[in-house]
Structures are given as structure tokens and as C-alpha cells.
């Protein structure tokens, strides 16, 4: 078998976003496009000769073809061993765990997460470092820099390898191990949670749950975890077979896209607990009977109840949340006497805090929750955490959340997304807001008074690196906020995200629809940013 060096030309658009490089499949299928990016990753790394690389993806269209290319390139570039999920399947959290457990040099995860899949839909590539977490900005910047000057890549000339059988074989000088990642992951969950108690809950005949895997990567993990190990009846997991196009849907666990689950949980004779996860298994949505838990509240509730769970019984070192996430977790941190860190959007910013032991739980408003057990957010982990809390407290999801609001007050929260906006107009909107920022503090807007207005800048407390322009935020004197930022994961035009939050300490006012509670702010945001005029849209594409 020969190592071939292939001459290539750079592509100019290989800048990784919030979570890796995401493009339409036909973009990735252009000659040398994937190869260029993979070689640019390798070129930005040092010291990987003979080391281990983890490879897997969420099973979407082009996953298998991409894995074949990556394996041959890894072999040609001198990796000693690759660990590949069976069938090419590896959830993002499982990949993070496998990297850590095997002291791998890093991992390549193929996913566009919650974006649709298929021949004309999205594909993505993400590089994770040896701590199991997404590459930090200095690495992704180096990858992008390499992609702009790349002139050649290396590839082993070899037939395709068998991905569907567990096994170990050689590809050139490199060892390939195809493994089943489900059992490792189940073991990890078992080490954190009280499985006996959860099993009692799920088999006691009183409690019913429903898990929607949305035809994405968590299907096999969820079947093993809930139905085989924890004893829930067969049929507990819906849409549990991963499909290359996710059955035509968006594998995005929210009230809009997880419609099968929403119908069940808000229908007659609904189960007690419902959950869904996304394309690559790192997001989660939590529902009670007729009840939706916002991701920010979920993080706050898990933090407040962490002592009930074996893996966290000794308490939390700290909490970290992304800036646009609601401040509900901050209130729990204050009560517990621990720090709550505020980071830019994207899990890569939690890595240093977790490695330094400063934070134990992390979360984002975008249905992401996780802990120091790995370095990615973890959808099924959040579901099992909730089950453990439910099993101990013997209350409904709704009761637990409402009691939480009684203790801490309620942070009304909503995110409005305007998708596929013309990029120039979206930038104009953000620039317009930036220009207004200095004049806003002290101004009265409706019944609100602006306390601060800035463009969020983050200095990493561990390595001192600075990330600027991470979202325009306008805070009011009563603790309410609105945040504007452009998505870094979309593949079509620009997506404007507007995040809205207000704080309500009074229990008597806890029963409002968030869109009503936030009504005046929604109006003010439009006046301030000229959203309707500039986007040409009279309402958001998705409200979560």
C-alpha cells in the first residue's frame, strides 16, 4: 500500500464556526474539499505521530464516505492507531469520553448536530483535543490559517475498511479498532447515577417515560440505557434507529421539531417524563406531563438538586453558563456559595474551567447541559440526571420546577431565531446596534431603564485568552436582558438570534406564557434593532 501525496488548491471558506466546519453536503463533496480540511487539521497539530485518533459521527449522509477518507489520511500522516465507532457511529459525548478514556491525541467528529441531513443538507467536521473537548479558538484559528495555504495532502492508497464489525486490523502501518461505544457510555452513566433507584422508578408501574431520539445518533445508546439496563418497557425509545436523513426531519430537540414527543407529552394520558436529544446526542429537551422545562431552568434545577445524585453528592465546584443563557443558574450558585462563570456561546469555552476544576456543571440555553464527566455537553446524561432527581424526590417535573421558582424566583426566558436572513442585512443590524451602544445606558425604554449596553468580551480566567464581539447585550436595571448575536453554525445566509430574559420574584406572577411576560421587551427589541424592517420577516422562524 502506497502513501500518495496529492497536490491541491486552498478553499477560502473553511473557517470553523461555533462548533466545527459546517457546510452543505455538495460543498463537502467538491474535489479535495474534505481532504483539504482534514489535512489542515493535521498540519495544525504537533506530536501526533504514533498517537491515537478517535473517529466517528452522527450517522448522517456522507458519514461513511468521510470516515473512509479520514482513516486513509490518518494512516498516511502517521497516526499510530484510530478508534472508530462501529458503523461509523459515535455520539459527540461518547467521542469525548472515548478520547479521555484512551488517552487519545484527539478526535474527529463528523456531525452538523441539529441541522438536517441528506444529500442536499448539512454535514460537518469538528476536531476535539486530548481533554475530549472541542478545539479552542487558537487551534481552530490555526486550522483555518492552514486551510488558506494548503498545497498538498497525504492519503494511503488502500481499499475501504469494514466499519460494521467490531474488530482490529491494520491500515498501512496504522492500527484501526472498530469498537462498540454504547457499552462504555452506559458504564460511565452507571458510575454517576443511582441506577437501582432509577430502575425502581421505571419498573414500579407508576411512572412512565418517553425518549425521542429523532432518528439520530442516540437511538442505540437510549435503547441500551433505558430499555435494557434500566428496565423501561420496549417502546420507551421513539425514533430510535439512526437514519442518514433523520427521517427527513430536523434532529433538533425543541418544541417545534420534536413533534412526535410533544404530541405525546401534551396529549391525553401523557407519560410523566419526556425527553429528546439532537443529531449528535449532545443536546437534550426535558418535558414533564404537559410541561416544558427551559434549558436554562433545567441547568438551575440540576445544580440545586445535585447533592441527591451520587456522582455529585459532594457538591459542585462551580457552575458555568454561556452568556445568552438565563441567569437562573446564577441564583442557585449564589445560594450554594459557589461561582457562576459566564462564557461565550459554544462548549469550547467551558473546557478550561472544567480542566481547572472551577466548574462542575455547565449549560447553554440551546438545550445543552453537561458536567465535568466529559468535555462536551451530554444529552442522555441530562436525561438520566433528571430521572435520578425524580426518583429521589418522588414529585412530578412540574412540581419540581415550580418549587424551584418559589425558592429562587422565575427567570422568564425565550429565544427568537430569524433564519436564512441575507448576511449583509444581518450584519447591518448588528452594526447598527453596536453603534447605538454607547448612548443607551441610563436611557428609559418603555417601562425599562438601561443599566448597561455592550458587546460581550470574554477573558478566559485560566489562560487569559480574549474573545471579543460575542454578542450585543443590553441589560436593564430590574435584571432583565436582551442579547443579539449571529449564529455560527448555520449554512445558509445568516441566522439572527434574539435572547430575552426577565426576572419575576413574585410567585403570584409565575404562571404567565413567556411570550406574554416578555411581550414589551420583544417590542422594544424590534424598535431598537429594526428586526422586521431589516430582515424583511414579520415573525421569527423558530421560537424556543
What does the binding site for Co ion look like in residue numbers (CB under 5 A)?
A: 113, 278, 280, 282-283
Instruction: Determine whether 113 is an active site residue.
Output: yes
Residue for cell digits 440526571? 385
Among residue numbers 12 through 71, which ones bind ligand VG1 (CB under 6 A)?
A: 18-19
DSSP states of 229-266:
IS-PPTTSEES-S--TTGGGS----STTT-HHHHHHHT
368 binds ligand VG1 (CB under 6 A): yes
121 binds ligand VG1 (CB under 6 A): no
Q: Rule CB under 6 A: choose which of 278, 297, 460, 501 binds ligand VG1.
A: 278
Closer of 272 and 364 to ligand VG1 (Cβ): 364
Give SS3 for 126: strand
- Dist. CA 282–CA 279, nearest whole Å: 8
**In this structure, what are the phi and psi dihedrals at residue 224, rounded to the nearest 5 degrees?**
-65, -45
**In the bound complex, what is the minimum distance in angstroms from residue 322's beta carbon to ligand VG1?**
6
Closer of 330 and 376 to ligand VG1 (Cβ): 376
Among residue numbers 322 through 351, which ones bind ligand VG1 (CB under 6 A)?
A: 322, 345-347
CA 125 to chain centroid: 14
List the grid coordinates of 113. 448536530
Q: Which stretch binds ligand VG1 (CB under 6 A): 212-220, 275-283, 289-297, 459-467?
A: 275-283
Residue 490's nearest CA partner among 24, 63, 11, 13 is 24
List the grid coordinates of 130. 486530548
Residue 85's nearest CA partner among 239, 226, 351, 281 is 281
Closer of 252 and 504 to ligand VG1 (Cβ): 252
**In the bound complex, what is the minimum distance in angstroms from residue 381's beta carbon to ligand VG1?**
14
- Dist. CA 157–CA 431, nearest whole Å: 49
Among residue numbers 159 through 188, which ones bind ligand VG1 (CB under 6 A)?
A: none
Closer of 111 and 305 to Co ion (Cβ): 111
**In the bound complex, what is the minimum distance in angstroms from residue 23's beta carbon to ligand VG1?**
14
Give SS3 for 399: helix
Torsion of CA 261, 266, 268, 272, to 10 degrees: 70
Q: Which stretch binds ligand VG1 (CB under 6 A): 162-170, 362-370, 381-389, 508-516?
A: 362-370
Q: Which stretch binds ligand VG1 (CB under 6 A): 205-213, 278-286, 430-438, 474-482?
A: 278-286
294 binds ligand VG1 (CB under 6 A): no
- Closest residue (Cβ) to Co ion? 113
Q: How many CA atoms lie within 13 A of 523 on its CB side?
A: 9
Give the one entry of ligand VG1, Co ion, none that residue 212 binds, where binding means its C-beta sits below a cut-off of 5 to 8 angstroms depending on kind. none
Catalytic choice (19, 44, 91, 113): 113
Give the one entry of ligand VG1, Co ion, none that residue 460 binds, where binding means its C-beta sits below a cut-off of 5 to 8 angstroms depending on kind. none
Give SS3 for 123: strand
- Dist. CA 498–CA 165, nearest whole Å: 46
Give the per-residue contact string, 478-517, with ligand VG1 (x = CB under 6 A; - = no): ---------xxx-------x--------------------
Q: Which residues contact 442 (CB under 8 A, 6 or more apart)?
A: 449, 450
- Dist. CA 260–CA 286, nearest whole Å: 14
Closer of 350 and 412 to ligand VG1 (Cβ): 350
Closer of 220 and 324 to ligand VG1 (Cβ): 324
**In the bound complex, what is the minimum distance in angstroms from residue 364's beta carbon to ligand VG1?**
4
114 binds ligand VG1 (CB under 6 A): yes
DSSP states of 279-342:
TTS-BEEEEETTEEE-HHHHHHHHHHTGGGSGGGTT--SEEEEETTS-SHHHHHHHHHT-EEEE
Closer of 18 and 305 to ligand VG1 (Cβ): 18
Give the one entry of ligand VG1, Co ion, none that residue 118 binds, where binding means its C-beta sits below a cut-off of 5 to 8 angstroms depending on kind. none
Closer of 278 and 364 to Co ion (Cβ): 278
Residues near ligand VG1 (CB under 6 A) are 18-19, 113-114, 278, 282-283, 322, 345-347, 364, 366, 368, 487-489, 497
Active site residues: 113
Amino acid at each position: 500500500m502506497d502513501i500518495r501525496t496529492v497536490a491541491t488548491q486552498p478553499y477560502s471558506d473553511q473557517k470553523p464556526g461555533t462548533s466545527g466546519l459546517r457546510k452543505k453536503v455538495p460543498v463537502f463533496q467538491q474535489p479535495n474539499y474534505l481532504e483539504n480540511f482534514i489535512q489542515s487539521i493535521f498540519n495544525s497539530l504537533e506530536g501526533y505521530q504514533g498517537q491515537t485518533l478517535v473517529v466517528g459521527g452522527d450517522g448522517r449522509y456522507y458519514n461513511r464516505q468521510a470516515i473512509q477518507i479520514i482513516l486513509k489520511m490518518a494512516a498516511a500522516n502517521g497516526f499510530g492507531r484510530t478508534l472508530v465507532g462501529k458503523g461509523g457511529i459515535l455520539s459527540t459525548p461518547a467521542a469525548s469520553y472515548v478520547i479521555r478514556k484512551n488517552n487519545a491525541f484527539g478526535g474527529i467528529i463528523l456531525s452538523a448536530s441539529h441541522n438536517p441531513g441528506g444529500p442536499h443538507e448539512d454535514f460537518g467536521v469538528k476536531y476535539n483535543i486530548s481533554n475530549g473537548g472541542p478545539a479552542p479558538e487558537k487551534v481552530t484559528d490555526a486550522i483555518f490559517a492552514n486551510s488558506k495555504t494548503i498545497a498538498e495532502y497525504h492519503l494511503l492508497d488502500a481499499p475501504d475498511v469494514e466499519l460494521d464489525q467490531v474488530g482490529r486490523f491494520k491500515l498501512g502501518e496504522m492500527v484501526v479498532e472498530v469498537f462498540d461505544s454504547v457499552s462504555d457510555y452506559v458504564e460511565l452513566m452507571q458510575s454517576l447515577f443511582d441506577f437501582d433507584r432509577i430502575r425502581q422508578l421505571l419498573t414500579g408501574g407508576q411512572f412512565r417515560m418517553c425518549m425521542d431520539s429523532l432518528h439520530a445518533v442516540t437511538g442505540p445508546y437510549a435503547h441500551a440505557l433505558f430499555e435494557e439496563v434500566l428496565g423501561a418497557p420496549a417502546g420507551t425509545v421513539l425514533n430510535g434507529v439512526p437514519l442518514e436523513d433523520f427521517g427527513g426531519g430536523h434532529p433538533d430537540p425543541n418544541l417545534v421539531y420534536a413533534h412526535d414527543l410533544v404530541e405525546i407529552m401534551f396529549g391525553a394520558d401523557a407519560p410523566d417524563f419526556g425527553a429528546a436529544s439532537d443529531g449528535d446526542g449532545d443536546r437534550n429537551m426535558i418535558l414533564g406531563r404537559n410541561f416544558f422545562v427551559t434549558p436554562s431552568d433545567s441547568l438551575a434545577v440540576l445544580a440545586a438538586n445535585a447533592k441527591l445524585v451520587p456522582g455529585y453528592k459532594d457538591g459542585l465546584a462551580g457552575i458555568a453558563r454561556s452568556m445568552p443563557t438565563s441567569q437562573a443558574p446564577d441564583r442557585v450558585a449564589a445560594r450554594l456559595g459557589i461561582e457562576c462563570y459566564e462564557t461565550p456561546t459554544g462548549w469550547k469555552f467551558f473546557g478550561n474551567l472544567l480542566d481547572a476544576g472551577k466548574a462542575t456543571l455547565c449549560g447553554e440555553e440551546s438545550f445543552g447541559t453537561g458536567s465535568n464527566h466529559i468535555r462536551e455537553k451530554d444529552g442522555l446524561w441530562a436525561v438520566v440526571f433528571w430521572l435520578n432527581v425524580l426518583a429521589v424526590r418522588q414529585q412530578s417535573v412540574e412540581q419540581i420546577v415550580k418549587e424551584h421558582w418559589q425558592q429562587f424566583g422565575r427567570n422568564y426566558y425565550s429565544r427568537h431565531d430569524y433564519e436564512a436572513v441575507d448576511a449583509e442585512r444581518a450584519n447591518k443590524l448588528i452594526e447598527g446596534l453596536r453603534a447605538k451602544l454607547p448612548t443607551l445606558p441610563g436611557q428609559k425604554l418603555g417601562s425599562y431603564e438601561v443599566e448597561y449596553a455592550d458587546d460581550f468580551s470574554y477573558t478566559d480566567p485560566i489562560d487569559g485568552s480574549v474573545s471579543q464581539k460575542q454578542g450585543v447585550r443590553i441589560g436593564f436595571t430590574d435584571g432583565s436582558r436582551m442579547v443579539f448575536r449571529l449564529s455560527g453554525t448555520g449554512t445558509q445566509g445568516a441566522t439572527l438570534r434574539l435572547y430575552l430574559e426577565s426576572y419575576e420574584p413574585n410567585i403570584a406572577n409565575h404562571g404567565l406564557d413567556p411570550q406574554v411576560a416578555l411581550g414589551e421587551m420583544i417590542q422594544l427589541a424590534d424598535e431598537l434593532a429594526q428586526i422586521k424592517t431589516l430582515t424583511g420577516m414579520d415573525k421569527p422562524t423558530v421560537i424556543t
